[in-house]
Amino acid sequence: MSQVGQTTATALLRRLAVEQAECRVPSVVAAIVRDGKQVWFGGRGRVDGAQPTPATQYRLGSITKSLVAVVVMRLRDEGLLDIADPVGKYLPGTPFGQVTVAQLLSHTGGLTAEPPTDWWERTPGLPAGDLLERVGPGELKHRPGRRFHYSNLGYGLLGEMVARLRGTTWLQAVQDEVLRPLGMNDTTPRPRAPHATGYAVHPFADVLLPEPEHDAVAMAPAGQLWSTAADLGRFAAFVGGDTGGVLSGDTLAEMREPAGVDAADWNDGYGLGLQLTRHRGRVLAGHTGSMPGFVATVWADADSGDGVLFLANTTSGVRGKLLTDLLDLLEEHEPRLPGEWLPGTADPGLLALTGLWHWGPRPYVLKLLPERGLSLTPVSGAGRASRFVAQADGTWLGLDGYYAGETLRVGDGHLDLNTFIFTREPYDPGAPVPGGVDGWQL
């Protein structure tokens, strides 16, 4: 699929036009990515008297954080840091050095939302040394790990950690390790022509106020970068699974796992440098962004690979449902066809394991998955379902659900799943069921 059809394109453009007109946005661009390629672009409003294009720059704001997080995970994969380590190991003297790198990535470290400076988004930034001198114990607002609490300061610290471990600036590391490999050559730390000017729109009149723009210096990793719809589309494809060798698929999947959520029955959460939201059965990963005069968002669905984004030059006003509305229109007009089912081959030994197993009296079904995977699911459909992958020692490792990370062993007529014994018949007396099995009573 190279481009969406005309009917779809018209519906998408109309939705974008409604947003620009009703929310009084000076200019806005949006794009949709499928199969790693941009299949639709729309622009409304004016930048220097002309409609914006895929090459028009806007400020990314906090989407910058996701790019910094990718470098952190690369450092982890190279063995240069452990995200379970306290940040004090890499930034000695930090007054809350017990907070872990993972907690900074996921905004669960308890740090204050903003740095102890003037309003950092609207004033020239401080060097890292000056910022660190200002940071004291009072910047720790919650017990580390207790709750999700968004922290721009935390990403300033992560940027400095990246700089020290790489022996360069955080920006150079992001450019060398993320932007250039992904082909994001129009993503820069300061604006380049053509770019939109950031504006605040008067709440009670149709007039504009230009917003300030500065180098945030030590706080730059929290929201400095500028980009285009074309470049951000490449990042959407990355988040959706087209990693381009920048990260392994497993590491990207780890970044998309929820580490902090707003509530038990969550709709919005945060992984390791990626925001998460749920919409109509989809789990979308990406990030929102805002700086004075600009808002932006990028989402990607890892299951389908579909990505969607917008960039606008307004301090506030674009509605959060714009992108999910665009995804819904795409699904309505051009739904993906399911992949064709094709028969495969199966190891006879694995084939013999399939079928009904029982956890005590409860029936489960074990099925073969492609590439020698297993799934174990309650027959009722509700309960402790997990997938498993074969290990070199003959055991199976749980990938998700209750048994994620746990070991499944195949015994003589039974399964041992982290001490739970599954049997072909409910409480089979011929299996080593702890506690003994005397037989069913009538």
**pLDDT tens profile 223-254:** 999 999 999 999 999 999 999 999 999 999 99
Segment 7-13 shows an average pLDDT of 97
Give the amino acid at 87. Answer: V
Give yes or no: residues 202 and 333 share one domain.
yes
- pLDDT for 280-300, tens place per residue? 989 999 999 999 999 999 999
Give yes or no: residues 142 and 13 share one domain.
yes
Domain count, the chain: 2
- pLDDT recorded at residue 261: 75
Q: What's the whole-model pTM score?
A: 0.91
Please give the residue range of the domain that contains residue 168: 1-342
Tell me whether residue 89 is in a domain. Answer: yes
Segment 103-118 shows an average pLDDT of 96
Confidence at 263, pLDDT banded by 50, 70, 90: low
Give yes or no: residues 335 and 360 share one domain.
no
374 Cβ contact partners less than 8 Å away, ≥ 6 residues apart = 350, 353, 366, 367, 368, 387, 388, 389, 396, 408
- pLDDT recorded at residue 2: 60
- Mean pLDDT check: name the lowest of 46-55, 232-241, 261-270, 295-304: 261-270
Give the amino acid at 433. Answer: V
Tell me whether residue 177 is in a domain. Answer: yes
Give yes or no: residues 298 and 162 share one domain.
yes
- pLDDT recorded at residue 442: 79
- pLDDT for 66-94, tens place per residue? 999 999 999 999 999 999 999 999 999 99
Tell me whether residue 212 is in a domain. Answer: yes
Write out the chain in H/E/C secondary structure.
Answer: CCCCCHHHHHHHHHHHHHHHHHCCCCEEEEEEEECCEEEEEEEEECECCECCCCCCEEECCCHHHHHHHHHHHHHHHCCCCCCCCEHHHCCCCCCCCCCEHHHHHHCCCCECCCCCCCCHHHCCCECHHHHHHHCCHHHECCCCCCCCCCCHHHHHHHHHHHHHHHCCCHHHHHHHHHHHHHCCCCCECCCCCCECCCEEECCCCCCEEECCCCCCECCHHHCCCEECHHHHHHHHHHHCCCCCCCCCHHHHHHHCCCCEECCCCCCEEECCCCEEEEECCEEEEEEEEEECCEEEEEEEECCCCCEEEEEECCCCCCCCHHHHHHHHHHHHHCCCCCCCCCCCCCCHHHHCCCEEEEECCEEEEEEEECCCEEEEEECCCCCCCEEEEECCCCCEEECCHHHCCCEEEECCCEEEECCEEEECCCCCCCCCCCCCCCCCCC
Tell me whether residue 440 is in a domain. Answer: no
Q: Is residue 58's pLDDT more than 60?
A: yes
- pLDDT recorded at residue 1: 42
Segment 24-52 shows an average pLDDT of 97
Give yes or no: residues 93 and 226 share one domain.
yes
- pLDDT for 128-160, tens place per residue? 999 999 999 999 999 999 999 999 999 999 999
Give yes or no: residues 338 and 357 share one domain.
no
Give yes or no: residues 97 and 145 share one domain.
yes
Q: Which residues pair with 50 in a beta bridge?
A: 47
Asked whether the beta carbons of 311 and 296 are under 8 A apart, the reply is yes
- pLDDT recorded at residue 262: 61
Segment 333-362 shows an average pLDDT of 93
Tell me whether residue 390 is in a domain. Answer: yes
> Bigger pLDDT: 282 or 438?
282
Segment 401-412 shows an average pLDDT of 94
Give yes or no: residues 398 and 317 share one domain.
no
Segment 170-185 shows an average pLDDT of 98
